[in-house]
Chain A
Amino acid sequence: MRVADTLQFASTSLRSSRSRTLLMILAMSIGVGSVVVLTALGEGARRYVVDQFSSLGTNLIIMLPGRTETAGLTPGMLLGQVPREISLDDAQALLRSRAIKRIAPLTVGTTHISLDARNREVVVLGSTSELLKVRHMDLSHGQFLPPGDIHDSTSVCVLGAKIKRELFGQRSAVGAWVRLGDRRFRVVGVLSSQGESMGFNTDELVIIPVASAHMLFNTSGLFRILIEAKSRDAIGQATRDAEQILAQRHNSERDVTVITQDAVLATFDRILHALTLAVGGIAAISLAVAGILIMNVMLIAVAQRVREIGLLKALGAPAAQIRKLFFAEAALLSGVGSAAGLILGEIGTAVIGQIYPALPVAAPWWAVLAAFGTALGTGILFSVWPARRAAQLDPVTALARS
Chain B
Amino acid sequence: MIQLENISRIFAVGDQQVAALRDIDLNLGAGEYLSIMGPSGSGKSTLLNLIGLLDRPTSGTYRLNGGNVTDLNDEQQAQVRREQIGFVFQSFHLVPRLTAAMNIELPLVLAGIAIEERKARVAELLQNYGLADRAGHRPDQLSGGQRQRVAIARATVMRPSVLLADEPTGNLDHTTGGEVLKLLEQLVEQNIALVIVTHDAEIGARAARQLHMLDGRIVSDDARQT
Contacts and interface: CB of A to CB of B under 8 A. Distances in A.
B78 A318 contact: yes
Contacts of B98: 12
A317 B95 contact: no
B74 A321 contact: no
Interface centre among A15, A312, A314 (most CB of B within 10 A): A314
A349 B158 CA distance: 54
B93 interface: yes
13 contacts: A1-B110, A1-B112, A5-B109, A15-B97, A16-B96, A313-B54, A314-B54, A316-B78, A316-B85, A318-B79, A396-B55, A399-B89, A399-B93
Contact of B110 (A12, A310, A312, A319): A312
Contacts of A13: 97
Interface string A234-254: 000000000000000000000
A231 B106 CA distance: 71
A316 B49 contact: no
Contacts of A310: 93
A9 B54 contact: no
Given A1-B112, A319-B75, A307 B97 contact: no
A318 B75 contact: yes
B143 to A, nearest CB: 20
Given A13-B97, A308-B95, A396 B54 contact: yes
B26 interface: no
Nearest to B94: A311
A320 B74 CA distance: 10
A315 B82 contact: yes
Contacts of B49: 396
Nearest to B83: A316
A395 interface: yes
Nearest to B96: A16
B107 A316 contact: yes
A314 B52 contact: yes
Q: Which 9 A-B pairs have the closest CB atoms?
A: A316-B82, A16-B97, A318-B78, A316-B81, A318-B75, A395-B54, A311-B93, A5-B109, A315-B107
A2 interface: yes
Given A13-B97, A319-B75, A314 B81 contact: yes
B197 to A, nearest CB: 13
Interface residues of A, number: 26
Contacts of B74: 318-319
A402 B95 CA distance: 14
Contacts of A395: 54
Interface in A388-402: 395-396, 399, 402
Nearest to A14: B97
A317 B97 contact: no
A399 B87 CA distance: 11
Interface string A176-205: 000000000000000000000000000000
Nearest to A310: B93
A12 B101 CA distance: 14
Contacts of B85: 316
Contacts of B87: 314-315
B201 interface: no
B81 A315 contact: yes
A14 to B, nearest CB: 10
A321 B107 CA distance: 13
A397 to B, nearest CB: 10
Interface string B95-118: 111100010001101111000000
Contacts of A321: 78, 110
Interface string B145-180: 000000000100010000000000000000000000
A323 to B, nearest CB: 12
A313 B78 contact: yes
A316 B111 contact: yes
Nearest to A2: B112
Given A314-B52, A396-B55, A9 B79 contact: no
A317 B54 contact: no
Contacts of A319: 74-75, 78
Nearest to B95: A308
A301 to B, nearest CB: 12
A116 B49 CA distance: 108
Nearest to A15: B97
Interface in B190-204: none
Contacts of A307: 93
Interface in A314-351: 314-321
Given A16-B97, A399-B89, A399-B93, A316 B54 contact: no
A311 B95 contact: yes
Given A1-B112, A2-B112, A320-B75, A315 B106 contact: yes
B47 to A, nearest CB: 12
Interface centre among A13, A311, A399 (most CB of B within 10 A): A311
Contacts of A9: 109
